[in-house]
Amino acid sequence: MTESDLPVVDFHPYRWGDPDRPAELSGAVHEALAAFGVRAPACGPVEPADAALPDIVLTDGARAALEVAVGAEYVRYDREARVGHTRGWSTPDLLRLRSGDASDAPDAVALPGSHEEVVALLGACAEHHVAVVPYSGGTSVVGGLAPARDGFHGVVALDMGRLDAVVAVDEISRTATFQAGMRGVTAEKALRERNLTLGHFPQSYEGASIGGYAAARSAGQSSAGYGRFDDMVVGLTLATPRGTVELGTAPKSAAGPDLRQLVLGSEGALGVITSVTVRVRPAPAVRVFETWRFETFEAGAEALRRLVQDGPVPTVLRLSDEAETSINLADPSALNGGGAGGCLAVTGYEGAAAEVESRRAGATAVLSAAGGAPEGTDGGEAWRTGRFRAPYYRDPLLEAGVLIETLETVTFWSNLHALRAAVTQALTTALTDQGTPPLVLCHISHVYETGASLYFTVACAQAEDPFGQWRTAKTAANDAIRAAGAAITHHHGVGTDHRDTYRQEIGPLAVETLRAAKQALDPTGILNPGVLIAPERPEAGA
């Protein structure tokens, strides 16, 4: 199965991924968990149909205005729509909804059919002081879909699902323009029909949308070869309560600040992205994925650094640490997928046949010289075909009584090992102190000439209050990341979960600058309030 064969998926409200292909734990895993003292929670999850929804607080005037903006048939107030647009898919989000808490549900779900209708909807919400959360795949794992509602007369989820057209493909300039609600899978399918590819495959690929990639500054698993999503974007259309901003006159220019980069990563707080123009590339004729084994994480990291700094650079390049290598994340039921110890790296090459051959030969020489042992293509292919599958296992693990969550960060190469040690230590201490010593796994997920990202997976037995248990651990990890001088997120985004650490990271004057930009575009502050920046105004002098 290749990326473009995958179906577009609407996730179950509290399960990650395709509801038709749920993951199951093997008997051996259940036995192992029992041996570790992990016990399933006393009661199972509350069904979505029984979740406690807040009363709808929209005024009659607001309802009427929404219905005028997008058409009455495209404003939904039913339970299914509201629960289906409640928060995202972080472990805390899942825990809350599983406990029957749907208090963050929007009052209504609106589905505009055009950019103009989005602008009209935002105008209506500004007039009636209704908060707006832009929504597509809903795959946020950082609380990006739970805006503050204090002081607003309700919250509307602006579902971009109807804005899913291919607007234009320029085969000469190799650009494609998509409406923002188009899912990544659909965009990729449309491009493959023209023998093109976007090459953007984040782990949320089965659900996420083009607009979400842009708003959350997404990075895909093939970023070494195809770049991050923010590298791909050449143009954007932004709807705001005050009208439209169109950016991207040229590929690059010296015409002032690059305002595209102000919108990318703005997470719905500055406006609603309604279309995106991206750079596309020829669909790869050939692809080869393989694995390499290094004695230590440090040796493997050094090999990755050499490749990304001096080339040739594979299309995919990642490295698991010893702990992660000992567990095959793509199939945790196999428990001992890692085999012979050490650290496993995945290298992937995509492109024209001759180019792939020469690039692979060059990288092979570098990896061998750096002490890597080649392990052939079986492990690489298994990773490639299973790569969107790992998070599916979170749901049966949660049900079995495991607390499992991921977090990620990024720093410069010279700081990488200190950062890994600090975050591992913080998570281990915070959870051990609660009586639930964790397993902390880590891999390098994305590489740059000057640094790399670290992606952590944390698992332990659930405590009585798993929500509070994780909050304590997450706070410790955030503090460790900040103390190490690294970024609070590499590709998950800020949302509400990272907002306070983000404020420390960029400082009060930068926060005020963002707030000023928001004020210019969204004077009444209705756009995803509390996401990215705190809703209260005074910030200076902090």
Query: In this structure, what token pair is assigned to residue 474?
Result: 């997450």
Closest distance to a second copy from the beta carbon of 65 (Å): 22
Per the CB < 8 A criterion, the answer to whether 296 and 342 are in contact is yes
Quick check: 249 binds a second copy (CB under 8 A)?
yes
Smallest gap from residue 219 Cβ to a second copy (A): 7
Per-residue tokens: 99: 């406990």
Q: Does 296 bind a second copy (CB under 8 A)?
A: no
Choice between 164 and 539, CB closer to a second copy:
539
| Sign of CA pseudo-dihedral 385, 390, 396, 397 | positive
List CB contacts of 14: < 8 A, sequence separation 6 or more. Answer: 45, 48, 89, 93, 94, 97, 98, 395
- On whether the CB atoms of residues 230 and 217 are closer than 8 A, the answer is yes
Using CB under 8 A, which of 82, 217, 318, 387 touches a second copy?
Answer: 217
Interface of this chain with a second copy, residues 14 to 53, rule: CB under 8 A: none
Q: Give yes or no for residue 172 binding a second copy (CB under 8 A).
A: yes
Question: Across 88-162, where does the E strand assignment appear?
Answer: 108-110, 131-135, 155-159
Choice from 42, 256, 336, 340 touching a second copy (CB under 8 A): 256
Name which position in 121, 505, 525, 526 contacts a second copy (CB under 8 A). 505
Active-site annotation holds for 455: yes
Q: What's the rounded Cα separation, in Å, for the pair 502 and 113?
A: 34
By CB under 8 A, name the one of 507, 537, 538, 542 that touches a second copy: 507
Is the preceding omega at residue 312 within 30 degrees of 0, hence cis? Answer: yes
Decide: is 298 part of the binding site for a second copy (CB under 8 A). no
| Residue 219 makes contact with a second copy by CB under 8 A | yes
Question: Which residues line the annotated binding site?
Answer: 134-140, 267-273, 394
The CA distance from 147 to 145, in Å, is 6
Figure out which of the listed residues 79, 153, 192, 279 binds a second copy, where binding follows CB under 8 A: 279
Our finding on whether 247 is near a second copy (CB under 8 A) is yes
Structure tokens at 313: 């650079």
Least distance (Å) between residue 526 CB and a second copy = 16
Residue 148 engages a second copy in binding (rule: CB under 8 A): no
Q: Which residues does residue 411 pair with via DSSP β-bridges, in sequence order?
A: 452
The distance of closest approach from Cβ of residue 259 to a second copy in the complex, given in angstroms and rounded to an integer, is 6
Q: Which residues are annotated as a binding site for substrate?
A: 394
Considering only the stretches 188-196, 378-386, 430-438, 509-517, report the one whose residues sit in contact with a second copy under the rule CB under 8 A.
509-517
Distances from the Cα of 520 to the Cα of 271, 307, 515, 516, 523, angstroms: 11, 44, 9, 6, 6
Which residues, numbered 319-378, are part of the site for a second copy (CB under 8 A)?
352, 355, 358
- CA 279 – CA 297 distance, rounded (Å): 34
Segment 447 to 466, residues that bind a second copy, using CB under 8 A = 448-451
Smallest gap from Cβ 334 to a second copy, in A, equals 31
CA-wise closest residue to 121 among 149, 86, 156, 84: 156
Per CB under 8 A, which region of 69-77, 112-120, 407-415, 421-429 contacts a second copy? 407-415
Q: Kindly tell me which residue out of 99, 103, 114, 261 binds a second copy, with binding defined by CB under 8 A.
A: 261
Query: Using CB under 8 A, which of the segments 70-78, 180-188, 244-252, 284-292 binds a second copy?
Result: 244-252
437 or 508: CB nearest a second copy: 508
Binder among 502, 528, 529, 534 for a second copy (CB under 8 A) = 502
**Binds a second copy by CB under 8 A, chosen from 145, 494, 526, 534:** 494
Give the residue from 454, 458, 406, 407 showing the smallest Cα distance to 432. 458
Site for a second copy in 408-427 (CB under 8 A): 409-415
Q: Does 234 bind a second copy (CB under 8 A)?
A: yes
How many other CB atoms are found less than 10 A from the CB of residue 383? 23
Residue type, 319: L
Q: Contacting a second copy (CB under 8 A), which of 86, 90, 203, 218?
A: 218
Nearest residue (CB) to a second copy, 225 versus 466: 225
- Measured distance CA(17)–CA(320) in Å, rounded: 23
Shortest spacing between CB 168 and a second copy, in angstroms:
10
Catalytic residue among 74, 213, 455, 502: 455
Contact with a second copy (CB under 8 A) among 70, 216, 459, 461: 216
Phi and psi at 142, nearest 5°, equal -130, 25
Which strand ranges, in their side-by-side order, compose the sheet holding 316-320? Answer: 373-374, 286-294, 343-351, 316-320, 439-447, 451-461, 402-412
Query: Measured between alpha carbons, how far is 49 from 60 in angstroms, rounded to an integer?
Result: 26
* Residue 286 interacting with a second copy (CB under 8 A): no
Positions annotated as catalytic residues are 455
